[in-house]
Chain A
Amino acid sequence: MRIGGRRPPPAPDAELIRRLAELLAETGLSELEYESDGYRIRVARETALTPLPPAPPALQQPPPSEATPRSEATSGANGADHPGAVTAPMVGVAYLASQPGTAPFVQVGDTVSEGQTLLVIEAMKVMNQIRSPRGGRIARIMIADAEPVEYGAALMLIE
């Protein structure tokens, strides 16, 4: 995979939120909503920060597939030819933990059993659990949290 110039997801601008919050205090309003360029920020007092508009409904997606080592001898995806490599069965964004800030599914040195969840790959807004094809010890994790991965990319090494 060769990608560059990845555009950050449309995240709220921290400075803008700070200014909106100040405005809220200044004016004594309980709620304030700002919309621009397809995203909307709503700041409210007393109640907790209202979440952003919900993501579009999940689309039809084949059931999460098991991570299987590729049988083709073709390379092309960053060193996926190691016999213990777990490779990405789909294109998407790989997450090492179920939520930001929570413990990762696995860490280097962990012993895992066959079928245990190693990570998730988000594809078309669906979280696909990638399970261990075999039991063993996690020798290496080749991706960072929230890293885009292509089909066949090496994710982890299990010994």
Chain B
Amino acid sequence: MFEKVLIANRGEIALRIHRACREMGIKTVAVHSTADANAMNVRLADETVCIGPPPARASYLNIAAIISAAAITGADAIHPGIGFLSENPDFAALVEEHGFVFIGPSPEHIRLMGDKVRAKEEARRLGIPTVPGSPEALSDFAAAAETARNVGYPVLLKASAGGGGRGMKLARNEAELARLLPLAQAEARAAFADEAVYLERYLERPRHIEVQLLGDGDGAVIHLGERDCSLQRSHQKLLEETPSPALGEASRQRLLTLAVNAMKRLGYKSAGTMEFLYQDGEFFFIEMNTRLQVEHTISEMVSGVDLVREQIRIAAGERLALGQSDIALRGHAIECRINAENPEDFRPSPGRIGDYHVPGGLGIRVDSAAYQGYDVPPYYDSLIAKLIVHGATRDECLMRLARALDEYVIGGIETTLPLHQRLVGNADFRRGDYHIHWLEDFLGRGR
């Protein structure tokens, strides 16, 4: 087992990893920017190294500084956390070349899943459905119309070279397709100097459902159930729950088995998440995250498994000690992301936290590096706390969540707490009746 782990991250997730290390008797090294010199994870670490000025590219993305910090402190392994360098295959490879262990998957798997086109090809090869569409650019209207008939309307036209919504057009029938195809091509040409477009089926009310996986690289893979992360704004998750209120037991088992078998065939090592869209009883793979996720906490609450501890054990070369039959998923868990943002227009709200009081009691967990008098720096993402609530049933969990939200006090800055209070009182949400576009509609209605 490792003696010393360098945590190449900041904020609540750095603290989360520090906690797992401490409980395993492993010393920690916190690396930080000058803006985070007073952060809680830095205060609690055994050793600290300032690696650069506030901008992330000069500090938390500064590979040379992080590897040098590992060298001067004599760390055995580096945990990349979430974001920053966690899905950078070059970083993972360099860490290993310099004689440290990278706590995560192999650089090859990070690279494979980081290429969204290759990842989907790999998923199909592993027997996992993806959103039906044309694999290649559409040559003309006849080809487009035939593909659209095969995948079923409505269809979304997308620029092959693109992203960010440019060149995207939604066609509900063949007449619309005839009208929109030239427009999509023209927009693609204007935006990317390449008029190639492809199409795929448009899902109107899908849910975002993901599977938490854990593999040891020797072919053993288990799941810790699914998470429903459909409550999103601008592709940012706001609240997650497990199990998904939308899935029946048969669908759930089908999804979990599909994901576990795929990862066994891949020989995946470490924690990872396969993300799917789910609509009308069908699952479509969208991407895989080859790292820990912010919302891993709810899977821990229902399974009792410490995912960071397992990541560290696996990285140290140990086999997966748990079989699927050892995992019992109990009760219901919900995580609310508390961001330092205005709860209506989502403007960032950095600054000094005044009064600070966290909720407590049975079934409550708060993962946060915040404290009274902490200055939320303006340089990084706005997540400052995660409120995680567990209950025997979804109803109990919702009642407990409402109670905990009322107790939570964060003064001095604006946070998303009031938005969560509105959400938890909403009838659609309480029924579990929502999809990935629902939150934006809800926010629009609130104006």
Contact = CB atoms under 8 A, between A and B. Distances in A.
A19 B281 CA distance: 73
Contact of A70 (B38, B53, B67, B71): B53
B72 A74 contact: no
B37 A76 contact: yes
B47 interface: yes
Interface in A84-140: 90-93, 123-124, 126
Given A4-B47, A62-B64, A72-B34, A150 B53 contact: no
Q: Which of B38, B52, B68 has the most CB of A within 10 A?
A: B68
A1 B52 CA distance: 12
A148 B51 CA distance: 12
B98 interface: yes
A91 B47 contact: no
Interface string B42-56: 000111111111100
A34 interface: no
A124 B68 contact: yes
Q: Which of A2, A56, A75, A77 has the most CB of B within 10 A?
A: A2
A56 B34 contact: no
A155 to B, nearest CB: 14
A1 to B, nearest CB: 6
Nearest to B34: A74
Interface in A141-159: 148, 150-153
B380 to A, nearest CB: 15
Q: Which of B51, B65, B71, B97 has the most CB of A within 10 A?
A: B71
A3 interface: yes
B342 interface: no
Chain B contact surface mostly: mixed
B232 interface: no
Contact of B50 (A6, A56, A61, A77): A77
A5 interface: yes
A116 to B, nearest CB: 24
Nearest to A10: B99
B74 A6 contact: yes
A89 to B, nearest CB: 9
Given A56-B97, A124-B68, A152-B34, A5 B74 contact: yes
Nearest to A7: B74
B68 A123 contact: yes
A151 B51 contact: yes
A53 to B, nearest CB: 13
Contacts of A62: 64
B128 interface: no
Contacts of B67: 124
A59 interface: yes
B37 A74 contact: yes
Interface residues of B, number: 30
A76 B375 CA distance: 15
B52 A151 contact: yes
A6 B73 CA distance: 5
A90 B65 contact: yes
B73 A92 contact: no
Contacts of B49: 1, 3, 91, 150
Q: Which of B4, B27, B48 has the most CB of A within 10 A?
A: B48
A123 B65 contact: yes
A98 B71 CA distance: 20
Nearest to B72: A148
B74 A151 contact: no
Interface string A45-65: 000000000001001011000
Interface string B22-48: 000001010000110110000001111
B64 A124 contact: yes
B202 to A, nearest CB: 43
A114 B442 CA distance: 61
B439 interface: no
Contacts of A74: 34-35, 37
A150 B51 contact: yes
30 contacts: A1-B48, A1-B49, A2-B46, A2-B48, A3-B72, A3-B73, A5-B47, A5-B74, A6-B73, A6-B74, A59-B94, A61-B64, A74-B35, A76-B34, A76-B38, A76-B50, A90-B68, A91-B49, A91-B50, A91-B51, A91-B68, A92-B72, A123-B65, A124-B68, A148-B73, A151-B34, A151-B50, A151-B51, A151-B52, A152-B34
Given A92-B72, A93-B68, 11 more contacts: A5-B4, A7-B74, A62-B64, A70-B34, A75-B37, A76-B37, A150-B50, A150-B51, A151-B53, A151-B65, A152-B53
Interface of A: 1-7, 56, 59, 61-62, 70, 72, 74-77, 90-93, 123-124, 126, 148, 150-153
